[in-house]
Structures are given as C-alpha cells and as structure tokens.
Amino acid sequence: MAARVDAGTVVTIAYELRDADGELLDEPGATVAYLHGGYGGIFPKVEAALAGHGPGHELALSLEPEDAFGDYDPALLRVEPRDAFPEVLQVGMRFEGVPGDEASGDDARIYTVTGIADEQVVVDGNHPLAGERVWFRCTVREVREATEEELRHGHAHGEHAPEGEEG
Ligand code: ZN
C-alpha cells in the first residue's frame, strides 16, 4: 500500500539546502527522516507542502528567515570578559552557553566567537543562517507509519533520524 504523508507517518526525504547565493549548506545527498504532524522535526513550511504526497514527490521552496533559521537577534551578540574563556581562543570557535546566559544543558545556546580583544570577547548566539533566506529542495524517498515509540518520543527513529534523536 502506497503510504501518503500524513500525521503519524515517518517521512524520509533526500534534500538540498542552499543559501541565498546558491551555495550548498549540507553534504550532497543529505537524507533525513522526520515524524510528520507538527513535531518540529522539519521546517513547518516544508512539512505543510509535503502533506498528502508520496514517494517520488519533488518539492522546491524558498524559505524566508522566519520560516527557516529565524530573524537575526541583535540581543544575542554579546561582549564577555576575556578571562571567562579558555586561554587558547580563536574567532570561529563555538561554545555552549556563555556566562550570564541562563539556559543550560540541552537548552544551552551555541555561541560563536566573532571577535577577540585584550580584555573582551565578542560572541554571537544567533544561528549562522539567522536572517537569511534559504532554498530547500527535496524528494520524498519513503513514507511509513510511525511506531508507537516514535509517536511517544515525538521524533523519528532509525537510519536517517536526526543526530541526537536515535533513542
Ligand atoms: Zn526517541
């Protein structure tokens, strides 16, 4: 029976994500499986556009920042004391959380070092693609019923499950 994308199905897609200049943002041939039905496993606009389709369906969408990685938030650009960071420090290094950021553990925001001075370090907690429009293109590879466990967890399991959500 040919399954259609619907709430409670796990959808495997081969996809390409490109920035506004057309640069590929993931490995070529990237594949992901997500649980359909508003679980946040994929961009909501993509999820909406895939509903009702089956294997072989192709989709190409331009996503505005608010539909992709969010708008750029200037409040997440922070200046922190140099001595709060390791001695060896380079622009581009990334840290989970910074001093003064309440979120921690799984909620910790990733900050990227964007500037280093004698006494201070500038870090940016925005996603690297925040504020950017991206191009999303995908082909549906497989649609199957989610297992009870997947529905309980709210995410897909198996080969193409997103990193960190294998269990
Ligand atoms: Zn799980």
Distance 125 CA to ligand 1 centre (A): 27
The pTM of the whole model exceeds 0.75:
yes
pLDDT score for 165: 55
Q: Cα of 140 to ligand 1 centre, how many Å?
A: 22
Identify the bridge partners of residue 102 per DSSP, sorted by sequence position: none
Q: Which two tokens stand for residue 61?
A: 């969408």
Fold adopted by 9-69+131-153: Chitinase A; domain 3 (3.10.50)
Domain ranges across the chain: 9-69+131-153, 74-124
Name the CATH architecture for the domain at 74-124.
Answer: Beta Barrel (2.40)
CA 78 to CA 121: how far, in whole Å?
Answer: 8
CB-based contacts of 81, cutoff 8 Å, min separation 6: 99, 119, 120, 121
Using the mean position of ligand 1's atoms as its centre, give its distance from the Cα of residue 158 in Å. Answer: 9
pLDDT at 116: 96
Quote the CA–CA distance of 70 and 62 in Å, as a whole number: 14
Residue 28 CA to ligand 1 center (angstroms) comes to 26
Written as one string, the DSSP assignment of 82-118 is: GGGS-SS--TT-EEES-TT----GGGPPEEEEEEE-S
Between the CA of residue 66 and those of 45, 81, 129, 132, 133, what are the distances in Å? 10, 32, 11, 9, 9
What residue type is assigned to position 16 of the chain?
E
Return the pLDDT at 97: 79
**Smallest Cα–Cα separation from 47: which of 5, 16, 88?**
5
- Extract the tokens encoding 53: 């389709």
CA of 19 relative to ligand 1 center, distance in Å: 30
- What's the gap in Å between 152 CA and the centre of ligand 1? 8
CA–centroid distance, residue 156 to ligand 1 (Å): 7
* pLDDT attached to residue 100: 65
The number of beta carbons lying within 10 Å of the beta carbon of residue 53 is 16
What is the rounded CA–CA span in Å between residue 69 and residue 126? 9
Instruction: Please list the rounded mean pLDDT of every run of 10 residues in the chain (167 residues).
Output: 88 95 90 96 96 97 95 93 93 84 71 94 93 96 97 94 66
